[in-house]
């Protein structure tokens, strides 16, 4: 089989795709929490994507991504049998996984479920109890619900419209759980929108629980060269792609993080609109 050849490519929710490809060099070394840089086509930009699954037996890497601009639109058009132009990895520091006497609470919102799912598998594999809190705007946007329900020790669900689980946010479900079970919890890990992770951090702090977060969404180059993923923690500068992507949330300047995360939005929007104008089928 050709290196980086696509094995399967499917839609798992509106605008969200799961991509699997053959890459033995990465599959044999990748660990939970790491990511890869993908260049879909020769003329495409490089995008960092967290590894959803790496199977050293089949040498297959699985990624989950959301279509948000030109490059991910192009990526979504690739079919099984085609080859990705380039893949670099594994990159970043692995998540710290160990057997704990207390429960780990994993909180994810939206696409964060795809990133936190391997954490759930890893903690369960070493014998640590896992409570998963997953959320989305509506029930049909809940990602990997079946897998969380099959393999977590307990699953709490929140949807904005109340179509499944608690009506509200994952923070509502989390706080309700911690009110009764905080003494049983070792720590909380949150992956999702920045404001959601900040809110989770504040709730956990009320119960004297540490929170760990993954800041992959701020990365651009992914190798520490562009400096775009700088984050301030207790006033000290870190680079997410080489110092993380996982950090203890205490001391993170989430306001700065959110502002930096938005800095390319207007340029990305214009680039996508310009590209669409050049595509007759998209007019």
Decide: helix, strand or coil at residue 148: helix
Residue 272 labeled ligand binder: no
Residues 52 and 135 occupy one common structural domain: no
| CATH number of the domain within which 74 lies | 2.40.30.10
pLDDT of 182: 97
State the pairing for strand pair 154-159/211-214.
unpaired
pLDDT-based confidence at residue 46 (cuts at 50, 70, 90): confident
Q: What is the mean pLDDT of the chain?
A: 90
Nearest to 163 by CA among 184, 135, 198, 191: 135
Residue 66 labeled ligand binder: yes
* pLDDT(72) > 60: yes
Does 283 map to a domain?
no
What span, in angstroms and rounded, lies between the C-alpha atoms of 274 and 134?
36
Residue 278 labeled ligand binder: no
The predicted-structure confidence for 73-109, as pLDDT tens digits, reads as follows 889 999 999 999 999 999 999 999 999 999 999 999 8
* pLDDT(171) > 70: yes
pLDDT of 264: 64
| CATH number of the domain within which 227 lies | 3.40.50.80
What angle do helix axes 254-261 and 194-206 make, rounded to 10 degrees?
170
Q: Which has more confidence, 70 or 214?
A: 214
pLDDT of 94: 95
* pLDDT(279) > 70: no
Does 77 map to a domain?
yes
Residue 64 labeled ligand binder: yes
Residues 169 and 34 occupy one common structural domain: no
* pLDDT(280) > 60: no
Does 270 map to a domain?
no
Residues 68 and 147 occupy one common structural domain: no
Domain hosting 175: range is: 103-260
Residues 81 and 191 occupy one common structural domain: no
State mean pLDDT over 152-171. 94
pLDDT of 278: 66
Residue 226 labeled ligand binder: yes
* pLDDT(283) > 60: no
Residues 52 and 140 occupy one common structural domain: no
State mean pLDDT over 163-171. 93
What span, in angstroms and rounded, lies between the C-alpha atoms of 37 and 92?
11
Number of domains in the chain: 2
| Burial classification of residue 1, based on how many CB atoms lie within 10 Å of its CB (0-12 exposed, 13-18 middle, 19 or more buried) | exposed
Nearest to 9 by CA among 50, 36, 40, 55: 40
Residue 241 labeled ligand binder: yes
pLDDT of 222: 78
* pLDDT(266) > 80: no
What span, in angstroms and rounded, lies between the C-alpha atoms of 18 and 66?
9
The predicted-structure confidence for 207-265, as pLDDT tens digits, reads as follows 999 999 999 877 777 777 777 788 999 999 999 989 999 999 999 999 888 887 766 66
State mean pLDDT over 38-42. 90
pLDDT-based confidence at residue 112 (cuts at 50, 70, 90): very high
- What percent of the chain stands above pLDDT 90? 73
């Amino acid at each position: 089989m050709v290196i980086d050849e696509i094995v399967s490519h499917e839609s798992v929710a509106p605008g969200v795709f799961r991509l699997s490809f053959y890459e033995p060099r990465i599959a044999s070394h990748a660990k939970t929490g790491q990511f890869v840089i993908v260049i879909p086509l020769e003329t495409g930009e490089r995008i960092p994507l967290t590894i959803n699954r790496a199977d050293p037996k089949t040498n297959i890497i699985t990624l989950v991504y959301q279509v948000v601009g030109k490059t991910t639109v192009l990526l979504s058009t690739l079919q099984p049998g085609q080859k990705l132009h380039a893949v670099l990895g594994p990159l970043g520091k692995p998540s710290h996984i160990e057997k704990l006497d207390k429960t780990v609470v994993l909180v994810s919102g939206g696409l964060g479920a795809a990133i936190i799912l391997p954490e759930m598998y890893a903690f369960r594999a070493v014998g640590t109890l896992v409570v998963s809190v997953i959320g989305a705007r509506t029930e049909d946007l809940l990602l990997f619900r079946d897998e969380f329900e099959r393999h977590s020790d307990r699953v709490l669900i929140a949807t904005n419209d109340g179509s499944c689980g608690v009506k509200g946010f994952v923070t509502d479900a989390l706080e309700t759980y911690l009110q009764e079970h905080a003494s049983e919890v070792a720590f909380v890990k949150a992956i999702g929108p920045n404001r959601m992770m900040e809110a989770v951090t504040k709730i956990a702090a009320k119960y004297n629980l540490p929170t760990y977060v993954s800041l992959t969404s701020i990365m651009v180059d992914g190798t520490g060269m562009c400096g775009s993923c700088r984050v301030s923690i207790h006033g000290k500068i870190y680079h997410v792609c080489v110092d993380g992507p996982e950090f203890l949330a205490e001391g993170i300047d989430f306001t700065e993080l959110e502002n930096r995360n938005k800095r390319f939005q207007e340029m990305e929007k214009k680039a996508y609109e310009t590209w669409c104008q050049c595509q007759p089928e998209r007019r």
